[in-house]
Amino acid sequence: MTLRSETECLMSRLGVAADALSGGSMACVSPLTGERIADISPAGVADAAAAIAAAKAAFGDWRMVPAPRRGELVRLLGEELRAAKDDLGRLVSVEAGKSPSEGAGEVQEMIDICDFAVGLSRQLYGLTIATERPGHRMMETWHPLGPVGVITAFNFPVAVWAWNAALALVCGNPVIWKPSEKTPLTALACGAVLGRALARFGAAPEALVQVLPGGPELGNALVESPDVALVSATGSTRMGRIVGPKVAARFGRSILELGGNNAGIVCPSADTAMTLRAVAFGAMGTAGQRCTTMRRLFVHDDIYDALVPGLIRAYASVSVGNPLETDALVGPLIDGAAYRAMQEALEAARAAGGTVHGGTREDIGPDSAYYARPALVEMPAQTGPVLEETFAPILYVMRYSDFDAVLEAHNAVGAGLSSSIFTTDLREMELFLSARGSDCGIANVNIGTSGAEIGGAFGGEKETGGGRESGSDAWKSYMRRATNTINYSRELPLAQGVVFDI
Ligand code: NAD
């Protein structure tokens, strides 16, 4: 079976008719083979405007549905996702090139956030606050915010939408989704899965969740519209630099989930065997195409020779290939541009004195597919390409001898997403997690930088954008807070003892 016909079968089982997959002007390409697997019709800017108007109308009704009832829709979505897990996971592999376990894992993450959001739908708590005025009560109330525009990246084509949609829906907001132009099929499939949940739910407003496949111009329509209360944008820092100021200029709210340049520090007391496995998965998993991929590794002089030669051997021997045809651990890069960016970074690393191991193109599949052996680069210092995110499997390895200096070097890059320390020394661990330690939104001990779970808030600082999604109290970004003061006395005492007798 060709990938195109497999795609048609998967899409049809997921609920998208075959005639939606051909005849359109938007080519969908699988990175596994470079094969064209569908030609769909993109939405236009006028469609985006209509979608925003429809979402605004839906908001009027959805905000009045009690939150636990809104949670019921998300519970049903979780059930439909469980039923669709195999097909949707496989489609993620076909469209984004992930291994079957990573494709299925992404759908599992969608299910997990649905479970989380269902519980949350009964826990959208506000505080009761002590007031200085007698006969008064002060409290805060959380209300739905308005339509939420969700812009997503290719590398987590479905999970990031679910992180946003599950929370936005229980918080009382309609959702308009602009998926990556590289992965629109999985988005259409999610739309169909959600359609089944909506049908079972019954009386949800029209246009509660809409999908707009197409390019950045559609994202821009969401960004510029004053009727989109919150723009949750996941992608490169380059995109965030455009989107963030535009949303801010209209006093809209944004959640920015942007690029990472994640590092690990390996201390002398680290468990070398475990560290090697954690670094290998963190740096090579998903072919280096996770926002949390480990890209820099600082290794103490005393442990360098015990760790790095083994790591270089792991890079030389890791299986690279089509993950749907083999049990390869490293799949393809998303496209030729990603491969060229990887080669440019390696060239720059060589020019800066780096020793490159691996990084060459693997002869797998047709010319239109881009498979590369992951690269480990021993660098004399943190310079040149080490300071930037290249969205490919490159790990820059550097030596260190002084703990304070390595903390400083760790934080001396623009991005601030994820970080790890490998140590069994309590003092080093606590310092890394302290106010003068890692400046990232995620700081781990003895696990890699990638592979976050739903319960925690996900996101990062600095050029990663500052947004938080998914767990903890990330839901607060999807609601507006009102502080209410109620006077149940017959007096009118003023705060701070102010007198205004009239
Ligand atoms: P990208 O920035 O090229 O595109 C992301 C999305 O933004 C796409 O849907 C695209 O159409 C849209 N977009 C681009 N320019 C826009 C504009 N001017 N206005 C509105 N929308 C616009 O990113 P990508 O190549 O798809 O994904 C890889 C990047 O995403 C990496 O930098 C990675 O670190 C980052 N990422 C971050 C997270 C996170 O949670 N921090 C998660 C996944 C990916």
Q: Chunked in runs of 10, what are the mean pLDDT values of the chain (502 residues)? A: 95 96 97 98 98 98 98 98 98 98 97 98 97 97 98 98 98 98 98 98 96 98 98 98 98 98 98 98 97 98 98 98 96 98 98 98 94 98 98 98 98 98 98 98 98 94 98 97 98 94 87
Q: Kindly calculate the radius of gyration of the chain based on its CA atoms and give it in whole angstroms.
A: 24
So what's the pLDDT on residue 502?
Answer: 85
Nearest CA to ligand 1 atom 40: 257
CB-ligand 1 contact for 260 (6 Å cutoff): yes
CB-ligand 1 contact for 76 (6 Å cutoff): no
CB-ligand 1 contact for 269 (6 Å cutoff): no
So what's the pLDDT on residue 275?
Answer: 98
Query: Got the DSSP string for 332-382?
Result: --SSHHHHHHHHHHHHHHHHTT-EEEE-PBP--S-TTS--B--EEEE-SSS
So what's the pLDDT on residue 111?
Answer: 98
Ligand 1 centroid – CA 109 distance (Å) = 19
Would you say the C-alpha torsion 452, 273, 102, 262 has a positive or negative sign?
positive
In whole angstroms, how far apart are CA 310 and each of 82, 275, 277, 303, 474?
Answer: 39, 11, 10, 12, 40
Nearest CA to ligand 1 atom 1: 235
Helix (H) or strand (E) holding 63: none
Ligand 1 centroid – CA 258 distance (Å) = 7
Alpha carbons 379 and 399: distance in angstroms, whole number: 8
CB-ligand 1 contact for 388 (6 Å cutoff): no
So what's the pLDDT on residue 100?
Answer: 97
The total of other beta-carbon atoms located within 10 Å of residue 497's CB is 7
Ligand 1, residues 177, 224, 236: which to mutate, most atoms within 8 A of Cβ? 236
Backbone angles phi, psi at 420, to 5 degrees: -145, 150
CB-ligand 1 contact for 461 (6 Å cutoff): no
Alpha carbons 125 and 354: distance in angstroms, whole number: 53
CB-ligand 1 contact for 189 (6 Å cutoff): no
Q: Is 257 a catalytic residue?
A: yes
In whole angstroms, how far apart are CA 242 and each of 93, 216, 279?
Answer: 30, 11, 33
Q: What is the DSSP letter of 179?
A: -
Ligand 1, residues 158, 225, 291, 462: which to mutate, most atoms within 8 A of Cβ? 291
Alpha carbons 7 and 4: distance in angstroms, whole number: 5
ipTM score here?
0.99
Query: Got the DSSP string for 185-213?
Result: HHHHHHHHHHHHHHHHH--PPTTSEEE--
In whole angstroms, how far apart are CA 231 and each of 33, 51, 228, 475?
Answer: 34, 14, 7, 14
So what's the pLDDT on residue 365?
Answer: 83
Alpha carbons 134 and 485: distance in angstroms, whole number: 12
Helix 67-96 and helix 184-201: axis angle, to 10°?
Answer: 150
Would you say the C-alpha torsion 126, 127, 131, 134 has a positive or negative sign?
positive
Rounded to 5°, angle at Cα 312 from 306 and 316: 145
Strands (E) located in 21-93 = 26-29, 36-40
User: Could you say which of 257, 428, 463, 469 is catalytic?
Assistant: 257
Q: Is 123 left (phi over 0), alpha (psi -120 to 50) or beta?
A: alpha
